[in-house]
């Protein structure tokens, strides 16, 4: 290997070392890139950097990020989750495992409406975990269902993961949203089937809601609540996604429509206030600033790595992997899964994926299919011990008698179910590519 390629390897090692000692992600990315870039080339390498950063901050598609974040935070702060849990819980409460099915269903709805993993898990943990434990659900099973449900927003559109993947892969956001619909719902269906099968095999494990509790709502009252509580957020999501997938509006325009729709929805519910609006605006600013800061710092890293010949190094590494294109793809997915034990999805997306992407472009791999596989693997990073953020979020609100080990144990079966979904999409690419092809994307 050339001296510059050794520097490229050293840069990756230094980046991980800085993360391990607790340096913020963006600073770790940029500082290692600047240091090793100067060692390898001096300041000349970074003459291209201003145009790269300008390309990020003026990217029209990226304007959708703060708008979707605003939409999600507004719906989350409006106590939408509490009402959804109540209504959906009564819908499925008369069957064994019904509360588990309801939690997954609420995860799908909240994932599509808000996409905020931490908020979904904290809300589900506070509202449902004590109830599940009181009704006799095992601690590990109850915590596993909540963590798995909360991560569905990372693959079900509209999702920040899919927006960033679309940019990296050179595909339209609408295409990625359309491609993720069937795999995301398939994953949710796998969770539900697994819960129902377990409930059928062990009926006493997940008892139904007592009849007296279900009788608190008549059929007419329940139907009215379904229309009033479930209808508006579902209608908003359908309008946003439908306008993007149908080609009526660009992602940024649809995101603006979603943000306005969320504002109107909360206003009509009587919960809109100046204090709430300030909270939502502050949270949107902080989340968006974090995402854009990492995006900008990743430009420095990518420029340095390519300048040091890192792409050629990665290409040669894949040549050592047996199995050709299939073996290389499995190797990349496995590596991303392992990185998910230690890194967040945005770091993996903007650091690891661009390193491998040129090889798969040269091999002619379908970028849409590749993106959905990566999205499903990235979702596991929220569940994998020891640093899965979903596990941390739930531990923060779980009762004292629920240990971290029980939360870890509960997540493992759902990680296996996620791998089942990855295997299905890997074996049958049409699961991801059928809908975009059907609507002509």
pLDDT 10s digits, 387-426 = 677 787 788 778 878 888 888 888 899 999 999 999 999 9
Q: What is the mean pLDDT of each run of 10 residues along the chain (441 residues)?
A: 78 80 79 86 76 78 81 75 72 78 84 69 78 83 89 83 86 89 93 92 79 68 78 81 78 85 84 88 85 79 76 68 80 82 72 80 89 90 74 78 86 92 94 86 59
Q: Check if the beta carbon of residue 368 is closer than 8 Å to that of residue 433.
A: yes
Gap between the Cα atoms of 330 and 335, Å rounded:
8
Tell me how far CA of residue 227 lies from CA of 83, 231, 256, 310, 332, in angstroms: 12, 5, 25, 55, 44
Gap between the Cα atoms of 165 and 169, Å rounded:
6
Gap between the Cα atoms of 337 and 339, Å rounded:
5
CA 396 to chain CA mean position, Å: 20
pLDDT in tens, 222-246: 788 778 777 777 888 788 878 877 7
What backbone torsions phi and psi does residue 228 show, to the nearest 5 degrees?
-80, -35
Gap between the Cα atoms of 34 and 303, Å rounded:
10
97: left (phi over 0), alpha (psi -120 to 50) or beta: left
In the prediction, which pLDDT does 220 show? Answer: 78
- Can you give the pTM of this predicted structure? 0.80
């Amino acid at each position: 290997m050339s001296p510059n390629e050794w520097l490229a390897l050293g840069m990756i090692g230094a980046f991980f070392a800085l993360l391990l000692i607790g340096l913020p992600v963006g600073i770790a990315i940029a500082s290692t890139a600047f240091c090793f870039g100067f060692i390898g080339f001096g300041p000349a390498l970074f003459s291209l950097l201003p145009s790269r950063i300008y390309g990020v901050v003026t990217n029209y598609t990226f304007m959708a990020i703060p708008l979707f974040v605003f939409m999600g935070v507004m719906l989350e702060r409006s106590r939408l989750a509490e009402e959804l849990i109540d209504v959906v819980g009564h819908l499925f409460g008369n069957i064994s495992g019904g509360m588990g099915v309801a939690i997954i269903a609420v995860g799908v709805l909240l994932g599509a409406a808000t996409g905020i993993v931490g908020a979904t898990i904290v809300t589900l943990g506070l509202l449902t975990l004590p109830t599940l434990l009181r009704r006799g659900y095992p601690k590990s099973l109850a915590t596993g269902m909540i963590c798995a449900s909360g991560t569905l927003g990372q693959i079900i559109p509209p999702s920040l993961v899919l927006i960033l993947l679309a940019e990296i892969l050179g595909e339209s956001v609408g295409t990625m949203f359309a491609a993720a619909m069937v795999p995301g719902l398939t994953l949710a269906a796998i969770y539900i089937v697994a819960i129902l099968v377990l409930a059928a095999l062990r009926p006493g494990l997940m008892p139904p809601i007592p009849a007296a509790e279900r009788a608190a709502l008549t059929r007419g009252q329940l139907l009215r609540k379904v229309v009033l509580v479930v209808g508006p957020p579902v209608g908003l999501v359908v309008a946003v996604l439908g306008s993007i997938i149908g080609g009526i509006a660009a992602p940024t325009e649809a995101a603006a429509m979603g943000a306005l729709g969320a504002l109107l929805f909360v206003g009509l519910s009587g919960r809109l206030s100046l204090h709430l609006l300030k909270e939502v605006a502050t949270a949107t600013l902080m989340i968006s600033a974090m995402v854009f800061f990492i995006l900008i710092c990743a430009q420095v890293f990518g420029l340095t790595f390519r300048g040091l010949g890192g792409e050629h190094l990665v290409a040669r590494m894949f040549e050592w992997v047996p199995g050709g294109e299939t073996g290389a793809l499995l190797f990349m997915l496995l590596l991303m899964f392992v990185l998910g034990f230690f890194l967040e999805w945005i770091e993996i997306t903007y650091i690891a994926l661009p390193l491998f992407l040129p090889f798969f472009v040269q091999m002619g791999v379908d970028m849409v299919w590749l993106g959905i596989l990566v999205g499903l693997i990235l979702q596991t990073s929220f569940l994998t011990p020891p640093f899965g953020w979903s596990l941390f979020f739930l531990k923060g609100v779980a009762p004292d008698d629920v240990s971290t080990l029980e939360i870890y144990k509960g997540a493992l079966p759902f990680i296996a179910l996620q791998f089942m979904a990855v295997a299905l999409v890997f074996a049958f690419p049409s699961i991801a590519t059928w809908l975009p092809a059907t609507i002509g994307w």
